[in-house]
Structure 1
Amino acid sequence: MAFRIALRTAAPALAAVALSLAVAQGAPASAAEHGAIPAPTAPSAVPAHPSARQTAPADDNPFRAMELDGLKAEFRFMCPAGRCVGYWSLALTEDRLKRHYQGGEFFAYAPAKGEFGFFLDTDIAYRTVKDPRRVRLVDSDFTRRNPRVEIRYGDPDRPRAAEVVATATTWM
């Protein structure tokens, strides 16, 4: 009973605060339309899924200390079973995507130890992929444990003979 009374007393104050915030947020937009202040710019990255409302701080990028050649770090969202999760991954740059690839598969390889990594497609891990747009390497034990990780194209059964497409190197 006491909770209901407190809620009834606080409800008008909460409604007034919410209304004043809505009006205050609308004022800059109205002023921008009339040239009084510059219009706000759109955010640079929009989440891939409408229910994904989080944003990724730039300092959370686990790849920021790596030297990337042919790879770029991207913050993305996946929504398995309707629950969205944000994650950082490495993907091929546009110039590497434009190259013509034929007769092989992409795979992640650590030449120092001869280890293979996995690519992530939504929430499924693949050892190899044929489409360069599906090359997506996530922050994992594989990338942390190996100072140099290479994306190679060719026959995964003969990794040393495959073409090095991109690299990620951690300098220690």
Structure 2
Amino acid sequence: MIRRTALRTLTTLAATAALALPLAQGAQAASPTTTATAAAATPATVNAGDDNPFRWMELDGLRADFQFMYPAGHRVGFWSLVLTDDVAQQKFAGGKFFVYAPATGEFSFFLDTDIAVRTVDHPRQVRLVDTEFMRSHPRVEVRYGDPDHPRRARVVASATTLM
């Protein structure tokens, strides 16, 4: 029981830190039109002057998305990576989505509403916010399958840091 409580506390702290990072880097609130533009953006169309922390990454099956959440009633904007529509519409059965760095064998987390989780069941729940993890690994993959056997899981999307 204590271990579970400690894990929940640690997960909450990690999610809070991941959401606070763009704010600490000077993220500004976007208007609804900016949100729509960011959601449809590809690496070729992202404005280099914006606050998108993923603009220097090569994305395959992922797109940058700007969202708002309201913790304690305060509006907070944050960037995340979500699956592109064509990937999210594919059929998935018998596994879980998870974030994996193949070079090190490490896992990251998704943001599900306002809670950091290691796996999600549905493609629309894939939301990566851990920019520190992505910066510290040259390639990060969203995989689908059994997280206990990550090398056997299907790679559905990836983000590669451009140096």
- In structure 2, the CA distance between the partners of 1:130 and 1:58, relative to structure 1 (3 Å rule), is farther
Percent identity (aligned): 64
- In structure 2, the CA distance between the partners of 1:154 and 1:138, relative to structure 1 (3 Å rule), is same
* Cα pair 1:62 1:139 within 8 Å, conserved: no
Aligned to 1:60, what secondary structure does the other structure show?
coil
Structure 1: 5+ residue runs without aligned partners? Answer: 1-41, 47-56
1:153 corresponds to 2:144: yes
Letter in 1 for 2:73: G
Paired residues, number: 121
**TM-score between the two structures when normalised by the length of structure 2:** 0.70
User: Which residue of the partner structure matches residue 99 of structure 1?
Assistant: 90
Deviation at 1:171, TM superposition (A): 2.2
Deviation at 1:59, TM superposition (A): 1.7
User: Which residue of the partner structure matches residue 99 of structure 2?
Assistant: 108
C-alpha root-mean-square deviation of aligned residues, in Å? 1.7
Separation of aligned partners in 1, 2:34 and 2:100:
32
- In structure 2, the CA distance between the partners of 1:44 and 1:83, relative to structure 1 (3 Å rule), is closer
Letter in 2 for 1:73: A
Letter in 2 for 1:149: V
User: Which residue of the partner structure matches residue 65 of structure 1?
Assistant: 56
Structure 2: 5+ residue runs without aligned partners? Answer: 1-31, 37-47
Letter in 2 for 1:129: V
Moved segments of 4+, more than 4 Å: none
Name which structure has the greater RCO, CA cutoff 8 Å, separation 6+.
2
**TM-score between the two structures when normalised by the length of structure 1:** 0.66
User: Which residue of the partner structure matches residue 133 of structure 1?
Assistant: 124
Aligned to 2:67, what secondary structure does the other structure show?
strand
Q: Which has the larger radius of gyration?
A: 1
